[in-house]
């Protein structure tokens, strides 16, 4: 039968609603719901029947269910109350009312149906309709003695692959070595400290953290799972323990350390700058990991379930995990590894760029670091060692800009020819080893290595690396012409590369303030700077019909032209002939490899305060195989003044080509 809001009369006495009796059942239920919406669990308890209250105290109810609702992050509670017509009256003391409940939780939206049983009971306030409450009022399938559990569903960070599918960054596993609190004595601490390269003070500091209790596992050091000898030694110490730990893995190690970067636990500053992270999350710290963090980042799922003592658990809300996006880059990991090995630990950098597509095939910085150490959590002592190393292995050299030295000369020639200021076949008569424009230069002179007995053409100037010839070409082109021409090659303008390398510059202020600066720039000194990636990219104009392609890092991006019509095919042919001559009979003869037609330009960039002084020298070699010009390699070695100048760079490039030729076969 239905329960109506009206007077029920027996004889002359009014017994129920509307005539001084208790409110209708739905009114009592609405009061309970309002307390719930206000998170007033104490108030909710006052609407329970005596039988319910005998099952749980107010304190127990308040603490337990307030904590549960807080843990599941209950929000936007919505309860659809029944109308008068929906109420079923079993008898004068019992009514049943349907409820529809909705809420947001940490695991997503949750909705369920519940039938509320209301009983009419005598209270201090008179007769009231009270709820015969049980835990399923709060969550579906929840009953006395059950436990509410929240489980994180692990998602995986996106992986990074090279152009051929080789793994640059993947999700792996390491071993955390630690101690069971309360189970290790001082002798054990000393023994374990020695094995792990720690001190007993380090171990005691970890054990003294506020969360540590006897029996808890306290991690001390994370090591590669392949380091079985260390793990075995540590495990043999009484009180020591190990635990598996998910970590990022970098198969190419130091060879690609600066390229891949690494992940680490997010810090307070990063938390402020990045939305969607919580303390303890991993985030890209350097390299590709940082550059493509948004794409690579995973989103863990979560589920709320009811853990029943003698039944299967019941999942009541679930947010699926979302793996990060895999990234495929243009890098050739085998080339990257080979180039890094051929650097032999020398301070320097190398970049390889495909001229027709703009694909960046290698980005090498030497020396380097093993990103696996950082991903596992590098010990402070080890980090200090890297930081204090005079060769600066933490410095990313392929992102830096250097003086190009004589490798700039083919670019100067291209600019001068495009401006109509240089006839490549008409010889310039140049006498002596030093030259100046006029007396206004004072004691300043441009110096070349060897004299010429015949008029100097572009080809012979490239082979002999004639500084005076290219200084003259720059002056003939003029400040405005050189500036415009160099900008067309990408100097002094934004470099459209995904990886943040330092942009190339024409001069410190972007102008040629003097003829001396203009002349020096012509042969790659002055204040001109470039990254090796841009330099290799720029040489692509000679191999790609006068077009420089946009440098490409993501393999899914479409190739596109960056700068066009920089040089005619006839002019490019003369430059290429000269670059081959540099290897056949010039300063790069060591790279004249049988079966290949290596061509290129050497450079020695002098880093000094003034003419006549000595300073640091960097050796450069930009090269390609004319028989198979599938990439341009720009290689630089720092501080080569006492080691043979640019020949050091030539030798390393030669060693790479020899091995790469074998690899290609």
Supply the DSSP symbol for 136: G
Confidence class for position 21, pLDDT limits 50, 70, 90: low
- Whether residue 79 is predicted with pLDDT greater than 80 in this model: the reply is yes
Instruction: Check residues 8 and 216 and name the one with the higher pLDDT.
Output: 216
For residue 16, pLDDT beyond 90: no
Q: Residue 17: is its pLDDT beyond 90?
A: no
Query: Looking at the predicted structure, is the pLDDT value of residue 612 above 60?
Result: no
Q: Is 309 a residue whose pLDDT tops 90?
A: no
Q: Does residue 310 or residue 167 have the better pLDDT?
A: 167
pLDDT at 266 > cutoff 60: yes
- Percentage with pLDDT > 90 across the chain: 77
Predicted local distance difference test score (pLDDT) of residue 140:
95
Q: How far apart are CA 525 and CA 507, in angstroms?
A: 10
What b-and-e string marks burial along 381-410, b requiring 16 or more CB atoms within 10 Å of the CB? eeeeebeeeeeebbebbbbbbbbbbbbbbb
Q: How far apart are CA 395 and CA 62, in angstroms?
A: 57
Among 215-219, 611-615, 619-623, the range with the most confident prediction by mean pLDDT is: 619-623
Q: Is the CB of residue 472 less than 8 Å from the CB of residue 429?
A: no
Lowest-pLDDT choice from 227-241, 299-313, 647-661: 227-241
d(CA 375, CA 257): 11
Identify the weakest region by mean pLDDT among 293-307, 419-433, 445-459, 606-620: 606-620
What is the pLDDT confidence band of residue 18, given thresholds at 50, 70 and 90?
very low
At 611, is the pLDDT very low, low, confident or very high (cuts 50, 70, 90)? very low
The count of other CB atoms within 10 Å of the CB of residue 189 is: 22
Quick one: CA dihedral 484, 490, 496, 500, positive or negative? negative
Fold held by 9-144: Nuclear Transport Factor 2; Chain: A, (3.10.450)
In angstroms, the CA 396 to CA 291 distance is 14
Confidence label for 115 from pLDDT (cuts 50, 70 and 90):
very high
CA-derived radius of gyration, the chain: 38
What is the C-alpha separation between 82 and 86, in angstroms, rounded? 6
Q: Tokens in use for 583?
A: 């290897």
Question: What is the rounded CA–CA span in Å between residue 544 and residue 565?
Answer: 10
Provide the CATH number for the domain formed by 336-664 in this structure. 3.40.710.10
- Phi/psi region, residue 364 (left: phi>0; alpha: psi -120 to 50; beta: rest), is beta
pLDDT the model gives residue 9: 29
Task: Count each helix (H run) and each strand (E run) in the chain, helices first.
Answer: 22, 26
Q: What is the mean pLDDT of the chain?
A: 92
Quick check: 90 pLDDT over 90?
A: no
127-140 pLDDT, tens digit per residue, is 999 999 999 999 99
User: Which range is most confident: 23-27, 218-222, 254-258?
Assistant: 254-258
583, pLDDT greater than 60: yes
- Count of Cβ atoms closer than 10 Å to residue 65 Cβ: 21
* C-alpha separations of 426 from 318, 418, 501, 531 in Å: 78, 15, 39, 32
197 membership: H or E segment, kind and range: none
39-45 own/partner pairs: CB under 8 Å, 24+ apart: 39/66, 39/69, 41/65, 41/66
- Residue of 449, 622, 444, 470 whose CA lies nearest to 536: 622
Domains of the chain: which residue ranges? 9-144, 336-664
- Span between the terminal Cα atoms of the chain, in Å: 90
Q: Which of 366, 406, 507, 646 is catalytic?
A: 406
Q: Which two tokens stand for residue 359?
A: 């694909």
User: CA-CA distance, 132 to 119, in Å (whole number)?
Assistant: 7
Residues shown for the chain:
665
pLDDT computed for residue 572 by the predictor: 97
406 is catalytic: yes
CA 459 to chain centre: 45
Examine the pLDDT at 310 and tell me if it is beyond 60: yes
Topology alike, domains 9-144 and 336-664: no
Residue 19 pLDDT grade (very low, low, confident, very high; cuts 50, 70, 90): very low
pTM of the predicted model as reported, rounded to 2 decimal places: 0.84
Cβ burial of 458 (10 Å; 0-12, 13-18, 19+) is: buried
- Tell me the C-alpha distance between 179 and 380, whole Å: 20
**Contact present, 327 and 297 (Cβ < 8 Å):** no
């Amino acid at each position: 039968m239905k329960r109506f809001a009206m007077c029920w009369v027996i004889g002359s006495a009014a017994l129920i609603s509307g005539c001084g009796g208790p409110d209708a059942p739905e009114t009592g239920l609405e009061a309970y719901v309002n307390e719930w919406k206000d998170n007033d669990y104490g108030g909710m308890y006052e609407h329970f029947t005596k039988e319910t209250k005998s099952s749980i105290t107010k304190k127990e109810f308040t603490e337990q269910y307030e904590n549960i609702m807080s843990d599941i992050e209950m929000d936007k509670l919505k309860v659809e109350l029944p109308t008068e017509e929906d109420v079923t009256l079993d008898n004068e003391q019992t009514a049943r009312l349907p409820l529809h409940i909705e809420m947001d939780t940490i695991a997503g939206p949750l909705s369920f149906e519940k039938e509320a049983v209301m009983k009419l009971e005598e209270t201090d306030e008179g007769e009231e309709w009270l709820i015969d409450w049980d835990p399923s009022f709060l969550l579906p399938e929840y009953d006395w003695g059950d436990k509410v559990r929240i489980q994180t569903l692990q998602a995986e960070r996106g992986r990074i692959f090279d152009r051929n599918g080789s793994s640059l960054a993947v999700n792996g596993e390491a071993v955390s070595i630690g101690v069971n609190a309360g189970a290790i004595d001082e002798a054990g601490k000393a023994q374990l400290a020695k094995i792990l390269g720690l001190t007993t003070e380090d171990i005691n500091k970890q054990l003294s953290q506020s969360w540590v209790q006897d029996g808890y596992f306290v991690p001390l050091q994370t090591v590669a799972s392949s380091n079985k000898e260390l793990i075995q030694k540590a495990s043999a110490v009484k009180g020591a323990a190990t635990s598996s730990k998910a970590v990022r893995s970098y198969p190419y190690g130091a060879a690609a350390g600066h390229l891949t970067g690494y992940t680490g636990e997010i810090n307070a500053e990063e938390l402020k700058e990045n939305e969607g992270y919580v303390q303890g999350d991993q985030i890209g710290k350097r390299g590709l990991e940082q550059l493509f963090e948004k794409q690579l980042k995973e989103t863990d799922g979560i589920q709320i379930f009811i853990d029943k003592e003698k039944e299967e658990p019941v999942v009541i809300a679930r947010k699926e995990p979302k793996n990060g996006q895999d990234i495929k880059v243009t890098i050739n990991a085998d080339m990257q590894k080979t180039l890094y090995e051929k650097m032999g630990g020398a301070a320097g950098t190398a970049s390889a760029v495909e001229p027709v597509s703009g694909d960046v095939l290698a980005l090498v910085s030497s020396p380097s670091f093993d990103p696996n150490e950082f991903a596992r959590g590098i010990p402070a002592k080890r980090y200090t060692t890297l930081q204090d190393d005079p060769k600066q292995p933490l410095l990313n050299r392929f992102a830096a800009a250097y003086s190009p030295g004589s490798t700039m000369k083919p670019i100067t020639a291209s600019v001068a020819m495009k401006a109509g200021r240089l006839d490549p076949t008409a010889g310039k008569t140049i006498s002596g080893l030093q030259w100046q424009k006029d007396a206004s230069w004072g004691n300043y002179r441009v110096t070349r290595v060897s004299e010429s007995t015949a008029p100097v053409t572009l080809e012979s100037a490239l082979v002999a690396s004639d500084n005076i010839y290219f200084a003259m070409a720059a002056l003939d082109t003029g400040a405005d012409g050189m500036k415009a021409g160099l900008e067309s090659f990408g100097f002094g303008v934004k470099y459209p590369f995904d990886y943040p390398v330092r942009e190339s510059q024409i001069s410190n202020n972007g102008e040629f303030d003097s003829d001396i600066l203009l002349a020096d720039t012509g042969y790659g000194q002055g204040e001109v700077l470039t990254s090796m990636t841009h330099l290799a990219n720029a040489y692509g104009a000679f191999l790609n019909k006068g077009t420089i392609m946009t440098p490409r890092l993501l393999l899914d991006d479409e190739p596109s032209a960056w700068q066009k019509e920089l040089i005619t095919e006839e002019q490019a042919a003369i430059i290429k002939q000269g670059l081959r001559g540099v290897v056949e009979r010039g300063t790069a003869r060591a790279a004249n490899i049988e079966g290949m037609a290596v061509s290129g330009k050497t450079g020695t960039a002098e880093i000094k305060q003034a003419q006549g002084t000595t300073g640091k020298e960097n050796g450069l070699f930009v090269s390609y195989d004319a028989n198979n010009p599938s990439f341009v390699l720009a290689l630089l070695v720092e501080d080569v003044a006492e080691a043979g100048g640019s020949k050091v760079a030539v030798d390393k490039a030669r060693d790479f080509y020899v091995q790469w030729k074998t690899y290609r076969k």
